[in-house]
Amino acid sequence: MKSTRRWRVLFTRVMHSASMRPALAWPDVLDLSRHRHMLDIGGGSGAHCIGAALRWPTLHATILDIAPVCDVAQECVAHHGLQSRIRTQVGDMWHEPFPAADLHFYSMIYHDWPPEKCQWLTQKSFASLEPGGRLVIHEMLYHDDKTGPFTVAAYNILMLWGTEGQQFSGRELATMLSEAGFTDLEVKPTWGYWSIVTGRKP
């Protein structure tokens, strides 16, 4: 148990370093001024909540993850002096209700799971959000015809080897959102190979 906890803490710290640059980029390409509370589902270190809170000063956020990860997230949030606006909540995205929020965010979550589980999460978010709520998926995306980019294809090999998942195209994720009931769908490049796919609950 101790070794598992240490591994999760180490992994979360490593991912924080890798996540901060893209986390500072995507909030610049999406207007979050109408949103009050962001729920980062499987939010890890809280990098994306930190990026969003720094860019949008009236936004509050909750990082939903397992206990050892939330401990690291609290340290990262405190480092940026955002304890009054970002909190952590220990929870299981598969088995527990989502806490109240009008913005759901998933970064590097969908690529860990097969399409049917991703669709289930999309539908769970749709059911949890009030009308006007928004879902944002942050991933490295394939071209719609799956011809590249090479970096995404290489990363896809890692996902196929080490997880149940795969990398998706923007069209595939937008279709998931549409089938769940989201409208006003957008696919927006953000930084490097990163993009967001987003939709609004009518």
Each domain of the chain, given as residue ranges in start order, spans 2-200
Of the pLDDT bands very low, low, confident and very high (cuts 50, 70, 90), residue 4 is: confident
> What tokens were used for 133?
């709520």
User: What is the pTM assigned to this prediction?
Assistant: 0.92
pLDDT in tens, 54-63: 999 999 999 9
> What tokens were used for 53?
């809170």
Q: What is the pLDDT of residue 136?
A: 98
As a whole number, mean pLDDT of residues 114-131 equals: 98
Task: Specify whether domain 2-200 bears CATH 3.40.50.150.
Answer: yes
**C-alpha–C-alpha distance, residues 80 and 169, integer Å:** 33
Kindly report the average pLDDT of the chain as a whole number: 92
User: Bridge-partner residues for 194, per DSSP?
Assistant: 140, 191
As a whole number, mean pLDDT of residues 163-176 equals: 95
Pick from 105, 119, 108, 94: which is nearest to 156 by CA?
Answer: 108
